[in-house]
Structure 1
Amino acid sequence: MNSIGFDETRVTPVPPRLEVKNLMRSFEGRTVVNDISFAIQPGQVTCLLGPSGCGKSTTLRMIAGVEMQDSGEIYVDGALVCDTIFRLPPERREIGLMFQDFALFPHLSVADNVAFGLTSGSKAEKRARVEELLERVDLMRFIDGYPHQLSGGEQQRVALARALAPKPKIMLMDEPFSGLDNRLRDGIRDETLNILKEQDTAVLLVTHEPEEAMRMADEIALMRDGRIVQHGAPYNVYTRPVDRAALAFFSDANVLHATVEGALAQTPFGQFLAPGHPDGTMVDIVFRPQHVRIDFDRGGTGPKPTATDGTAARGVVQRARFMGNESLVEFVMDYDDSILRATVPNVFLPKVGTVMWLTIRRDKCFVFDA
């Protein structure tokens, strides 16, 4: 700090690579995107996750500049690129696009398709960049081929290389890996992220698959009916859902219905704490199948109640299936003939009709208004 009190070491905060403020978009009187705001830093991957029709792709298209918002602002590195008055053309936003309709130019070779977005550099430099990317997506052998000679998945990887070639500041990806078979998907997905992070590119990925979002994203913005209902790190979004629908979007869910009395919800599995819910309120107690504990019947009785697992409830096996790395067991519960699902690691296939006792991890349950 100098003699007049000015701190010369103070660093001006760096603006987000991409910032979206209060985006709105309606079609024929129906609001499709409703007050969307978020920011993405260089090298960060943010995923817009949600069911079909929730506004994910429309948000992406507005950022790309191929769709105009009704209101709201879009910034790149702190500079305005679009509001309702000013609009920078899509080709000047330094944004790469990878949409589901990844159409390649049929009259151009694979090499020329990838090089299409390279506007600077010598012919040799462009060729070197094309070869580098095709090598990384395992398509170098097709460099002089044409799109019609490739499978759908191979065409998609060429389109991905084309989008990466100009080293965009921001990459917008709308379910870009949906055309790849499972054998290739994980490898190509991971390699794509490696390339983008090496280039410090901010990535906005759109998907309806929770597993893909959890695997790829640094942050997840969960969308529903045009709004972001929850935004955070994948672990937090998964383990601290804002409501029953948010929890169920990531996995199967079991639900108990109960009424609150004295801040407690009474169920066949014992009492559950329900702070903040007035007496008489109907609540849903929601928990995932992997948090159900299964015990064998001991002459008509089950395990004793515990503070951790509560009271055991009796059920009868209706169906058991091996799912590859776990087993799914469905029970018909004695208390109301409802179906309750439990998953068990590895192979566990009790016979239909087997009587068993179930308990629920108290710390893995969520209480929501019904």
Structure 2
Amino acid sequence: MPPRLQVDRLTRRFDGAPVVDDVSFQVEPGQVACLLGPSGCGKSTTLRIIAGVDMQDSGRILVDGQLICDTDFRIPPERRAIGLMFQDFALFPHLPVRDNVAFGLPGGFKANRDRVGDLLERVQMTRHVDSYPHQLSGGEQQRVALARALAPRPRILLMDEPFSGLDERLRDGIRDETLALLKDEGTAVLLVTHEPQEAMRMADQILLMRRGRIVQQGAPYNLYNAPVDRQAAGFFSDINVLTGRVQGALTDTPFGRFLTPGIPEGAEVDIVIRPQHLRIDFDRAGQGPAPTAENGTAALARVTRARYLGRDSLVEFATDAGAITLNATVPGVFLPPPGTPMWLMLRRDRVFVFPRG
């Protein structure tokens, strides 16, 4: 069975510079895939090409195994069975909710009363059926826009930063409601966002983009726990970085030696660990914990600042020589005063080693 959406070697150039560069991926029916990356990396351009409002310079797009677009053949946007949902919702201000949802359906609201009513019930907007967009909150407008996008039963739904305009306190709940409805409909979804947490929360598959190319794709768990490079690791969370040089497939650090197989002799490497995986132990008259296979060698550092962030505390450290600064997050309240000596260790199973550059 072919994938619902297949993008094959898509390229788009502006003024000779590639904005989308040899992009390929697939989305299955009922799957939520997320194009994730910083602003300007080519996410929205990729979405526009799939929707049919922009044209690629090379590559092709297939839906259910059928070609909808290459450089010679192009099905018009309105005939692609692809729905669109934008950041600003794009509701028609002169139409009530019922007619906004029914817009584009043959016969309008009168001929599709049951479908419109069902969708409004599922997005909890039945009591607003006669309201106009200006009478709705941002979250309510988002629900109406989702119902309208799903009303024609599109095979694919494209969503461009659909939650970025919502209040942060509402966002998680509305995202969860949206995801549940999309799963019920069995629609293949391609979501564009620059927020890693949104991608982790919603996506079955993340496509991490950088400078027009997909640098890594897979399940959220895999991208978070096996990043392809330092930039990928840092995109999903704060990181600590140590630098070193390979000697005999090993790199020496104040925290012991790290294996660096496959990296050329003498090459510089980045040793990366997230703040939550830094282990902390108290100083005992200048004595620290013994080295272990799990945590390596402990290094003495001093607290430079500690802040309580709500769920956890962020503690900043500097080694005695001052050459290395590291951040650690600790659950709950942990606020040692500046200057407090503590021993730090790096969980070896949570360390990433990448060639530098």
Scaled by the length of structure 1, the TM-score of the pair is: 0.93
Whether the 8 Å contact between 2:242 and 2:324 is mirrored in structure 1 is: no
- Which one-letter code corresponds to 2:73 in the other structure? F
Whether the 8 Å contact between 1:24 and 1:71 is mirrored in structure 2 is: yes
- Which one-letter code corresponds to 1:173 in the other structure? M
Match for 1:155 among 141, 154, 166?
141
Q: Tell me, in whole angstroms, the C-alpha distance in 1 between the residues paired with 2:11 and 2:35.
A: 16
Q: How does 1:17-56 map to 2 (within 5 A)?
A: 17-56=4-43
Q: Tell me, in whole angstroms, the C-alpha distance in 2 between the residues paired with 1:186 and 1:135.
A: 20
The Cα shift of 1:238 comes to 0.8
Whether the 8 Å contact between 1:268 and 1:335 is mirrored in structure 2 is: no
Equivalent residue of 1:335, what SS? coil
Q: Which range moved further: 346-355 or 134-143?
A: 134-143
2:49 maps to 1:62: yes
Q: Say how many residue pairs are matched.
A: 356
* Deviation readout 1:289-335 (Å, 9 max, x if unpaired): 11100000100121111111111111111111222222111112223
2:130 maps to 1:144: yes
* Structure 1 gap ranges (5+): 1-13
Q: Tell me, in whole angstroms, the C-alpha distance in 1 between the residues paired with 2:214 and 2:141.
A: 32
Q: Which range moved further: 242-251 or 128-137?
A: 128-137
Match for 1:340 among 326, 329, 335?
326
Whether the 8 Å contact between 1:259 and 1:282 is mirrored in structure 2 is: yes
Whether the 8 Å contact between 1:136 and 1:191 is mirrored in structure 2 is: no
The aligned counterpart of 1:241 is 227
Q: Tell me, in whole angstroms, the C-alpha distance in 2 between the residues paired with 1:109 and 1:205.
A: 27
- Which one-letter code corresponds to 2:48 in the other structure? R
- Which one-letter code corresponds to 1:269 in the other structure? F
RMSD in angstroms over aligned alpha carbons?
A: 1.5
The Cα shift of 1:182 comes to 3.1
Q: Which range moved further: 352-361 or 191-200?
A: 191-200
Q: How does 1:1-370 map to 2 (within 5 A)?
A: 14-119=1-106, 123=110, 126-370=112-356
The Cα shift of 1:186 comes to 2.1
The Cα shift of 1:120 comes to 5.9
The Cα shift of 1:122 comes to 7.8
* Structure 2 gap ranges (5+): none
The aligned counterpart of 1:7 is none
* Deviation readout 1:85-123 (Å, 9 max, x if unpaired): 111011110001012132211111111111103226882
Q: Tell me, in whole angstroms, the C-alpha distance in 1 between the residues paired with 2:257 and 2:114.
A: 66
Equivalent residue of 1:113, what SS? helix
The Cα shift of 1:211 comes to 0.7
Q: Which range moved further: 148-157 or 253-262?
A: 148-157
Equivalent residue of 2:223, what SS? helix
Q: Tell me, in whole angstroms, the C-alpha distance in 2 between the residues paired with 1:335 and 1:294.
A: 18
* Deviation readout 1:260-291 (Å, 9 max, x if unpaired): 11111000111000111222111110111111
Whether the 8 Å contact between 1:222 and 1:231 is mirrored in structure 2 is: yes
* Deviation readout 1:342-367 (Å, 9 max, x if unpaired): 11122212122211110001111111
Q: Which range moved further: 235-244 or 150-159?
A: 150-159
* Deviation readout 1:46-102 (Å, 9 max, x if unpaired): 111110100000000000001111111000000000011111011110001012132
Q: Tell me, in whole angstroms, the C-alpha distance in 2 between the residues paired with 1:101 and 1:318.
A: 43
* Deviation readout 1:132-184 (Å, 9 max, x if unpaired): 22232232222111112223332222212111111110010111111222333
Equivalent residue of 2:148, what SS? helix
Q: Tell me, in whole angstroms, the C-alpha distance in 1 between the residues paired with 2:180 and 2:186.
A: 10
Q: Specify whether residues 122 and 164 from structure 1 end up closer, same or farther in structure 2 by C-alpha distance, changes over 3 A only.
A: closer
Q: Specify whether residues 71 and 120 from structure 1 end up closer, same or farther in structure 2 by C-alpha distance, changes over 3 A only.
A: farther
Equivalent residue of 2:291, what SS? coil
- Which one-letter code corresponds to 1:348 in the other structure? F
- Which one-letter code corresponds to 2:229 in the other structure? D
The Cα shift of 1:127 comes to 2.1
- Which one-letter code corresponds to 1:92 in the other structure? R
Q: Tell me, in whole angstroms, the C-alpha distance in 2 between the residues paired with 1:155 and 1:121.
A: 20
The Cα shift of 1:129 comes to 2.0
Q: Tell me, in whole angstroms, the C-alpha distance in 1 between the residues paired with 2:104 and 2:347.
A: 54
Q: Tell me, in whole angstroms, the C-alpha distance in 1 between the residues paired with 2:139 and 2:204.
A: 26
- Which one-letter code corresponds to 1:43 in the other structure? G
Scaled by the length of structure 2, the TM-score of the pair is: 0.96
Q: Tell me, in whole angstroms, the C-alpha distance in 2 between the residues paired with 1:122 and 1:138.
A: 18
The aligned counterpart of 1:6 is none
Whether the 8 Å contact between 1:207 and 1:213 is mirrored in structure 2 is: yes
Equivalent residue of 2:114, what SS? helix
Whether the 8 Å contact between 2:102 and 2:108 is mirrored in structure 1 is: no
Equivalent residue of 1:350, what SS? coil
- Which one-letter code corresponds to 1:59 in the other structure? T
